[in-house]
Structure 1
Amino acid sequence: MTTTTEPAAPTSTPARTRTRGGLGRYLLVRFLLIFPTVWILVTTVFLLMRATGDPITASLGGKLPPDQLAERIHAAGYDRPILVQYLEYLGRVVRGDFGTTISDNRPVTEVLTTYGTATLELALYALVVALLVGIPLGRIAAARRDQGADAALRVSAILAYATPVFFAGLLLKLVFAVWIPVLPVANRATTASVVAMQTSGSSTGIYLIDALSTGDPAIVVDVLRHAVLPAVTLGLLTAGVFLRLVRTNVIATLGTGYVEAARSRGVSERRLLRTHAWRPALVPIITVIGLQIAMLLGGAVLTETTFEWKGLGFQLVHYLLARDFVAVQGIVAMLAVIVAVTNFIVDVIAALVDPRIRY
């Protein structure tokens, strides 16, 4: 008697389902990590600012009589225990309230919304410059490995990364404002362009969008001309990082087994570089972009000061000189949020590009 055995039911989840589940868990975990990251940064900034004493005394000490100073300290609650101040500060931050500046009595949120778009615009310009310069040159260096062009590009990358931002900015101002006066070296646009953008009804704070909304090509050109030197100054700093990273990863990918197999089938080196080696080498580059955003925001402080680009970096220096630690605390906290969210977005892009990135 023959016994028929029913096929066993599959005991494992299909690969596609597992992949989607792994991607969902990965993105959820990366999103949830934003909150402890921001909390740690905000707490660190709060404690560092309070290590100098209360903000009222730091900013107005010696400028007000002792009784008025004590009255303002009490009104602001800076004479209460540090734990009470910390918990109240966290509660305000959760509600989007970063306090009021001491030196000019403005809500910190108003400062952030007014000047934050300028810093964001500069960082995006600089990132475009870094990608347009660093990635193609990195591919050229990888294709000409250990040749003269490769050596020259590597040295240039090191110099670009090692050059202080303020020095590069001053050098570019000297060249393009004194020796070859072809580009503006201060502000984000001329006064006439700013007035035209304000009267056009568009007020995004990102001058390129506002200039495009006017429909006047001359205003668009004016905005872009003002952005060239700050963007190049800040972008070259990161371009050196991208150049070396692209070169290293493309060379490593060209040495893998599947590329060697394609080479043995007669695939040309140019095609290997373009189709076989480029995409796998792209994943580490996307990951590093998130780290470079933090570098760009840090470099924006010096770049904005050098070119009088009225952004958060420019205002941060202003408030530091005024010892207005409430404003400094709010600006740094907002920059921390921007960096954390940017890193999450980069993680999402990297996970979509590389299916190996899963939990």
Structure 2
Amino acid sequence: MSNSTAVTSAGPSAGTPASARNAKGDGAASAAKPRRNRLSGGFFRFILTRFLLIIPTVFILVTIVFFVMRATGDPISAAMGGRLTPDELQRRIHAAGYDRPLIVQYLDYLGGLLRGDLGTTLTDNQPVISILVRYGAATFELAFLALIVALVIGIGLGRIAARHRDRAADAGIRVFAILCYATPVFFLGLMLKLIFAVWINVLPPSGRSDLASEMQFNRLVSPTGFYIIDALQLGNMTVLADVLRHAVLPALALGLLTAGVFIRLVRTNVISTYNSGYVEAARSRGVSEKRLLDKHAWRPALIPIITVMGMQIALMLAGAVLTETTFEWKGLGFMLSTYLKARDFVAVQGIVILIAIIVAVVNFIVDVVAALIDPRVRY
């Protein structure tokens, strides 16, 4: 009786384990599949939403720049008011359409943007598009090199500071990070020029290359404007070395500005992950501190850096104006400074719009990458 009772009582649980497991497995599979599809669809909606946000962002900035630039009057009067007779000035204003109502000019400008027409510069009568193409490559090259400097210095020193927390090395690195972030980029550029170009005399003080290298670039059938790539096209290592020597000081000046931010970010996040539960569990199992840093605490600390990188690109492009002016690096920043001095509002508008588009696109890419690598991002 007892055996029969035991079998009977055990039967519902022990007699159907396979079917229960199969049913449970089928249910879990059917539940998991829609979840995977739903996440996939949500991710693409997330990408589409972030991409569409670029349009209003650029539109708002274009609108602000347009009306702020004309707050002091029409561009021709601002650029050439003291060099033309009143009659000639009025004739040019009328020919350019700047005597029309402001809203009409604004709508006409938006129409030109949709057609890819950013206007013509007032001071040298060049299409703004050609200015962007000609000098944009120089700014992109400088920003790319500066980003490499920022990542190498920022991540390297940040890891060292986190590993030697509250010691002399950590304190010194933190002071260095504050100095990098707080020092104006033009002052840092001048100090680097004074030390390495004047006192030690090992690096050139300005420009993107020597005259001999410029003449070599003129031989190229289809130059890219990126001097490093063009030097590789030539296959001339002397020209490549000259280009890299000219790029060291500008890239260092601009890169250190962002490296200070990266140092603090890496240090803070690595220390935070050091104190997390799974790292403590690994430490209790006898895992070495070096392995804890390399395998457990390091990768999670990268996520905030990727998230903040979009904002740092904007900071770099802003700093490029002063950096390029300090080192006579003829890129968009250098030309923006030149056109601002000449009060050429048409050229300034075009350069600002391009920078806005670059920053918006970079932030979009950063958002997508962060969503891919960080499971905490919800879409």
The bucket for the TM-score relative to the shorter chain is over 0.9
Q: For 1:298, which of 304, 309, 318 is the aligned residue?
A: 318
Q: For 1:122, which of 117, 126, 142 is the aligned residue?
A: 142
Q: For 1:313, which of 333, 343, 354 is the aligned residue?
A: 333
Deviates more, 1:29-38 or 1:18-27: 18-27
Deviation string 1:81-114 (CA, Å, 9 cap, x unpaired) is 1111111111111222111111111111111000
Q: How far apart are the structure 1 equivalents of 2:120 and 2:140?
A: 22
Q: For 1:257, which of 259, 270, 277 is the aligned residue?
A: 277
Q: For 2:45, which of 15, 21, 25 is the aligned residue?
A: 25
Contact persistence 1:202–1:213 (CA under 8 A)? no
Give the secondary structure class of the aligned counterpart of 2:202: coil
1:160 partner letter? C
Q: For 2:364, which of 318, 334, 344 is the aligned residue?
A: 344
Contact persistence 1:41–1:333 (CA under 8 A)? yes
Give the secondary structure class of the aligned counterpart of 1:31: helix
Taking a change above 3 Å as real, the CA distance of residues 252 and 45 of structure 1, as seen in their structure-2 partners, is same
1:324 partner letter? D
Task: Give the corresponding residue for 2:66.
Answer: 46
Taking a change above 3 Å as real, the CA distance of residues 100 and 200 of structure 1, as seen in their structure-2 partners, is closer
2:167 partner letter? Q
1:156 partner letter? F
Deviation string 1:269-321 (CA, Å, 9 cap, x unpaired) is 11111111111111110011111111111111111111110001111111111
Give the secondary structure class of the aligned counterpart of 1:277: helix
Q: For 1:108, which of 128, 133, 137 is the aligned residue?
A: 128
Deviation string 1:167-215 (CA, Å, 9 cap, x unpaired) is 1111111111211001011110111111112203341000000001111
Shift of 1:268: 1.4
Contact persistence 1:59–1:322 (CA under 8 A)? yes
Task: Give the corresponding residue for 1:67.
Answer: 87
Give the secondary structure class of the aligned counterpart of 1:199: coil
Shift of 1:126: 0.5
Shift of 1:16: 2.5
Q: How far apart are the structure 2 equivalents of 1:54 and 1:250?
A: 53
Q: CA RMSD in A?
A: 1.7
Does residue 236 of structure 1 match 2:256?
A: yes
Task: Give the corresponding residue for 2:235.
Answer: 215
Task: Give the corresponding residue for 2:10.
Answer: none
Task: Give the corresponding residue for 2:107.
Answer: 87
Q: How far apart are the structure 1 equivalents of 2:51 and 2:338?
A: 34
Q: How far apart are the structure 2 equivalents of 1:274 and 1:356?
A: 22
Higher relative contact order, structure no. (Cα contacts within 8 Å, ≥ 6 residues apart): 1
Q: How far apart are the structure 1 equivalents of 2:66 and 2:33?
A: 48
Q: How far apart are the structure 1 equivalents of 2:82 and 2:217?
A: 42
Shift of 1:13: 5.1
Contact persistence 1:121–1:206 (CA under 8 A)? yes
Give the secondary structure class of the aligned counterpart of 1:336: helix
Give the secondary structure class of the aligned counterpart of 2:95: helix
Q: How far apart are the structure 1 equivalents of 2:303 and 2:113?
A: 34
Contact persistence 1:186–1:308 (CA under 8 A)? yes
Matches within 5 A, 1:134-173: 134-173=154-193
> What is the TM-score of this pair, normalised by structure 2?
0.91
Shift of 1:17: 2.1
- Structure 1 gaps, min length 5: none
- Structure 2 gaps, min length 5: 1-18
Deviation string 1:236-278 (CA, Å, 9 cap, x unpaired) is 1100000001001111111112222222222111111111111
Give the secondary structure class of the aligned counterpart of 1:103: coil
1:34 partner letter? I
Q: How far apart are the structure 1 equivalents of 2:36 and 2:289?
A: 34
